[in-house]
Amino acid sequence: MRLTLIFSLVILFSCSINDNKSDNSFLLPDATGTDSEMIIVMDSTKFKNEIGRTLINIFGADIYGLPQPEPYFDLIYIRPQNFNSILKFVKNIIIVFSLEGNSSSSKLLRKEFNKEALDRIKNDTSLFMIKKKDQYSKGQEILYLFGSNDAVLLNHIKKNNELLRNFFEKKVIENTSKKIFSKKQKNISKELLNKFGYNINVPQGFNVSKIGNQFTWLREIDIEFEKNIFIYFEDYTSEKIFTNKNIEDLRKKIARKYLKDSEDPSLYMTYQKELPFQKKEINFKNNFAIETRGLWKLSDISGGGPFISYTFVDERLNRLYYIEGYVYAPGKKKRDLMREIYSILWSFKLY
C-alpha cells in the first residue's frame, strides 16, 4: 500500500499525532498479536545506535511497582525488507526513518513517501510523527517517526518519550476496558451509587467482600489469582494528607481496620519497604490526586504483590477518598492484571 496521498495530506497540517483512520477498515482482517506486542521497523544500523536504544528504553522499560521485571511492551525488531504481509497485521507498529543514510533499508522506507512529503520533512524540523489507524488491519495502530536527519529524529523522540509511550498504552487500556466491562455487575454498581453517591464499573466475577459506612471491598477470587478493589472515604480535614508519610499512614489505618484476616485478626496488609513508593500528582476525574504505586505484603510475609492507589478530595462533600486496587497472583505475570485494575479504578465517578 502506497502512503503518498495519506502522508502528503497529513504532513501539511500537523507535527504531532493525528487519528487518520482508514476509510475501508470494515474490509480489513482483524489485527493479530496481543495488545502488548509491538513491532519496530527501521534500518538495522539506526536500530543498533542511540535511536534504537532510546526506543527500547521507552517502550521496553520495566513497569514500576511490579514484583518481577515486566516491560510495557514486548518488542520485536523487523528489518524493512522483512516487513511482510503477515507482520503488517500486528496491532502495534512503529516505523522509523530519517533522510540521513543510503542503506537499502533507509531507501526502502523513504520510497513510501512522495517528493513533496520528503521535502517538508527536510525543511520543517518540527514535523516528526503521524499516526495511521487500521492501515492494514482492524484494531491496528501504526506510528511513523521521522526526521530530516538522525539527530533531529533522536531529539524529538527523547523530548516526547512519555507522549509516545502513552499513545500506545492508552490503546491497551481502552482494549482492556472493552474486554473486562463487556459484562458488568450492574447491581453492585447501583448499590454503591445509592448508598455512597459514587459509581464504579464492576466486571463480571467480582463480588462484594465487605461493605460498611465508609469502606467497600470488591474481590474476584480465581484459582490462580485474586483481584481486589477497595474504596474508603472520611471527612477531609487538611491538605497535609497529601504528603508521602500521611498517605502511608492513612493506608495503614485502613488496612488494620478493614483488611484483616477474619480467622486471625493479627494478620493484616502492609507495605514492602524494599521498593520505594512511586508517587505523582495527577488529574483524576477533574480532581487533584496523588497516584501511588508499590508493593504490598501480609504482615507475616506469607503473600504480597503490586498495588496502585489514588488519594483525592470530593470538595462538594468535603470528603477524602482513598481508592486502591491490588492483585495476588503467585508465580504469574502481573502486567495485564494490573492494567485491568487500573481500568476499574479509572471507571470511578462521583455524583
pLDDT at position 22, please? 56
How many Å apart are CA 297 and CA 323, to the nearest integer?
A: 17
Residues 310 and 205 in one domain: yes
Last residue of a domain, one of 133, 156, 179: 179
Residues 226 and 287 in one domain: yes
Residues 129 and 194 in one domain: no
Claim: this prediction has a pTM higher than 0.85: yes
Last residue of a domain, one of 144, 159, 179: 179
| pLDDT per 10-residue tile (average), the chain, 351 residues | 41 45 74 96 96 98 96 97 91 96 90 89 92 93 96 97 96 96 97 97 96 96 95 95 88 89 78 89 95 92 93 96 97 97 97 89
The radius of gyration computed from the CA coordinates of the chain, to the nearest angstrom, equals 23
Closest CA to 229 of 250, 249, 203: 203
Residues 276 and 173 in one domain: no
Owning domain of residue 250 = 183-350
Q: At 53, phi and psi to the nearest 5?
A: -65, -35
How many Å apart are CA 32 and CA 38, to the nearest integer?
A: 11
Return the CATH number at 63: 3.40.50
Residues 151 and 205 in one domain: no
CA neighbours closer than 13 Å in the CB half-sphere of residue 53: 3
Residues 153 and 257 in one domain: no
Residues 135 and 61 in one domain: yes
Return the CATH number at 311: 3.40.1000.10
CA neighbours closer than 13 Å in the CB half-sphere of residue 232: 17
Residues 276 and 135 in one domain: no
Contacts of 258 (CB under 8 A, 6+ apart): 210, 212, 215, 217, 230, 232
How many Å apart are CA 268 and CA 25, to the nearest integer?
A: 52
Residues 283 and 213 in one domain: yes
pLDDT at position 7, please? 42
Last residue of a domain, one of 179, 199, 225: 179
Residues 13 and 129 in one domain: yes
- How many other CB atoms sit within 10 Å of the CB of residue 149? 15
pLDDT at position 299, please? 84
pLDDT at position 77, please? 97
Q: Total structural domains in the chain?
A: 2
The identity of residue 275, as a single letter, is: L
Residues 196 and 152 in one domain: no
Residues 163 and 189 in one domain: no
Q: At 183, phi and psi to the nearest 5?
A: -130, 125
Q: At 93, phi and psi to the nearest 5?
A: -135, 135
